[in-house]
Chains A and B, each alone.
Chain A
Amino acid sequence: NAGVMQNPRHLVRRRGQEARLRCSPMKGHSHVYWYRQLPEEGLKFMVYLQKENIIDESGMPKERFSAEFPKEGPSILRIQQVVRGDSAAYFCASYLGQTDTEAFFGQGTRLTVV
């Protein structure tokens, strides 16, 4: 039973380019969180999604950032026109839902904007 899979592990983008980060939840999990972590800082909540629905995007900047979790395929976090300040580790976590709320993290995507 594979864990949460994120790719790519490392992503380098030039300022102004687009970054697409993918997250495949654990098998059977229909709930996904995305977090951002700067070096030596804590996890900052960005967005919470269920299959085909964005439940809470209160932590995500309204401009340039978007997220989706389609019926089929991975969850995608998309950052348009990246800036140096977007450089961070982006983690997703998934959980089964209902009464089982244990969330498991992927290995993260380290985004570097040059």
Chain B
Amino acid sequence: QKEVEQNSGPLSVPEGAIASLNCTYSDRGSQSFFWYRQYSGKSPELIMSIYSNGDKEDGRFTAQLNKASQYVSLLIRDSQPSDSATYLCAVHSSNDYKLSFGAGTTVTVRA
């Protein structure tokens, strides 16, 4: 079982719609959860951090965490063409301090 799994995508959404990204993780000792955005040919950019169960909103982005289900999600509201990128879910383990990444979900926002 992979440590971090994401819905494989690719995901295509029309401009203005909501993009929904999902992620599950295997290490129950994980305490910190992150979403990164990576444009083609660029480095990953941290866009959201979440540490406790529930929702966290930052602008058009909302992260959701459910530790009991070992599930993290990211919603992008009012999607824009500039949101077209690969989104990476990352989980930081408090056991071995490793920051593990999912394979990423590529999102394309159609104008």
Residues of A at under 8 Å CB distance from B? 31, 33, 35, 41-43, 45, 48, 55-56, 91, 93, 101-108
Contact = CB atoms under 8 A, between A and B. Distances in A.
Contacts of A55: 97
A36 to B, nearest CB: 12
A42 B101 contact: yes
Given A43-B88, A107-B43, 14 more contacts: A33-B99, A43-B101, A45-B99, A45-B100, A45-B101, A56-B98, A91-B44, A101-B99, A102-B32, A103-B99, A104-B46, A105-B45, A106-B43, A107-B42
Nearest to B86: A42
Interface size class of B (residues with CB under 8 A): 20 to 34
B25 interface: no
Nearest to B96: A56
Interface string B95-110: 0111111111000000
B77 interface: no
Given A42-B101, A42-B103, A48-B97, A102 B46 contact: yes
B92 interface: yes
Contacts of A33: 99
Contacts of A101: 31-32, 92, 99
B22 interface: no
Tell me whether chain B's interface is mostly helix, strand or loop, or mixed.
Answer: strand
Nearest to B4: A42
Nearest to B32: A101
Contact of B43 (A41, A48, A105): A105
A16 B55 CA distance: 51
Nearest to A105: B43
B5 to A, nearest CB: 11
Given A33-B99, A101-B92, A102-B49, A42 B104 contact: yes
A103 B46 contact: yes
> Which of A41, A45, A48, A103 has the most chain B CB atoms inside 10 A of its CB?
A103
Nearest to A108: B43
B11 to A, nearest CB: 16
Contact of A48 (B32, B98, B103): B98
